Structures are given as C-alpha cells and as structure tokens.
Amino acid sequence: MASAFGHAAASLAFGSTGIVKRMQGKLMLMGMIVSILPDADSIGFKFGVPYDSFWGHRGFTHSIVFALILSIVLVFAFYRSQTSKEKTRIFIFLFLSCVSHAILDAMTTGGLGVAFFSPFNNQRYFFPFRPIKVSPISITTFFKGKGLAVIQSELVWIGLPSIALMIFSFIIRKGKKSTTEG
Ligand SMILES: [Zn+2]
C-alpha cells in the first residue's frame, strides 16, 4: 500500500476538480473512505490468507471490477434519487477514487503486485515506474519511523501531482466561468 494519507489525498484531488460540487462534503468523505477501503484486505494476514491468493492483500479488492461494483452499489444506496447525469458524475468520482488506490499501489517499491484484472485473472502487476516507498501495513511500524520516508516519497509522487491537478482544474474552471460571464 501507499499510506492511507496518500490514497485519500488522491481522492481529494479528484474531488477538487469540480466533479464533487460544493456542499457535497459527504461525497468527498465517501471518496476518501473508498480510496482507502481496498486495504481492508490486509486483515487477511491475521487469518492466514495467503498474500498471492484471490482474497490476499492487493487481490480482488484492488481490482477494477471491485471498484466498479463498489461505486455502483454506493450510488444506488446513497444517491438513488439523483438524476442520471448526477449519478454518472458521482459514480465516476467514486470509481476514480477506488481505482486510484490500485494504481498507486502498483507504483510502490514493495510487496506483491496488484490483481487489476481479478476475478478473471489473479496475476499481480506492477508498473515499470515505481517511485513510491511501500508503506508498512502495521500502524505501529508506520509511526515508529518508517512512515516518515513513506510520507516523504508520497509528498513528491502523490502530493505534488495532486496539487498540480487542483491548480490546473481551478484555472480551467475560472477560465470557463469568465467566458460564460463575459
Ligand atoms: Zn492497497
């Protein structure tokens, strides 16, 4: 995993592009939770689930299919009454938040790769470019020192692109607003 902070930051950056509207704090929070949720599979380590198995860490919960199902379920559970346009927008945001987790994990320096195509194919993948230091799963280890190096690499490889995305979308939206206004 990248750290929970890194995943949540990516979701926040997507949300700030305007896909999450003002006053939709609940949706923004939901996106951040969804971005961290795939790592619930690390509980399997406690119960002897093998790392490289279907339910193992970075297995099915890190797949594209899981992100699709989770986003659809959440849209229908919480945003059923919205118009289809709104539902699509919310779905895209939640899907991006969830799938960004797997993408970031596939760019980390350690552990096994990510089962992007589970349940059809349980093979694990990494990207060729892996600059993000892998985060320890144990919170104690994270706060005992290793976490600092993780946070540093995430600031560079997740934080900076997130800020760039926020600034870029802010400029685009401002530009759009002034064209419609003037
Ligand atoms: Zn993960």
**Alpha carbon of 180 to ligand 1 centroid (Å):** 42
**Alpha carbon of 178 to ligand 1 centroid (Å):** 41
**Alpha carbon of 156 to ligand 1 centroid (Å):** 19
Number of residues that make up the chain: 182
State the burial class of residue 146 (Cβ atoms within 10 Å of its Cβ: 0-12, 13-18, 19+). Answer: middle
**Alpha carbon of 171 to ligand 1 centroid (Å):** 32
**Alpha carbon of 66 to ligand 1 centroid (Å):** 13
Tokens 């596939």 belong to: 106
Residue-wise pLDDT tens for the chain (182 aa)? Answer: 578 889 999 999 999 898 888 788 999 999 999 999 999 999 999 999 999 999 999 999 999 999 999 999 999 999 999 999 999 999 999 999 999 999 999 999 988 999 999 999 999 999 999 999 888 877 777 777 778 888 888 898 899 999 999 999 989 888 887 777 66
**Alpha carbon of 139 to ligand 1 centroid (Å):** 14
**What radius of gyration, in Å, describes the C-alpha atoms of the chain?**
17
Report how far apart, in Å, the C-alpha atoms of 160 and of each of 6, 18, 33, 176, 177 are. Answer: 11, 19, 21, 24, 26
**Alpha carbon of 6 to ligand 1 centroid (Å):** 11
**Alpha carbon of 176 to ligand 1 centroid (Å):** 36
**Percentage of the chain modeled with pLDDT above 90:** 68
**Alpha carbon of 62 to ligand 1 centroid (Å):** 7
Contact 32, 135 (CB under 8 A): no
Collect all residues with Cβ–Cβ distance below 8 Å to 160 and sequence separation of at least 6.
none
CB atoms within 10 A of CB 167: 11
**How many domains does the structure of the chain reveal?**
1
The rounded mean pLDDT for the chain is 91
pLDDT of residue 143: 78
Parent domain of 36: 4-181
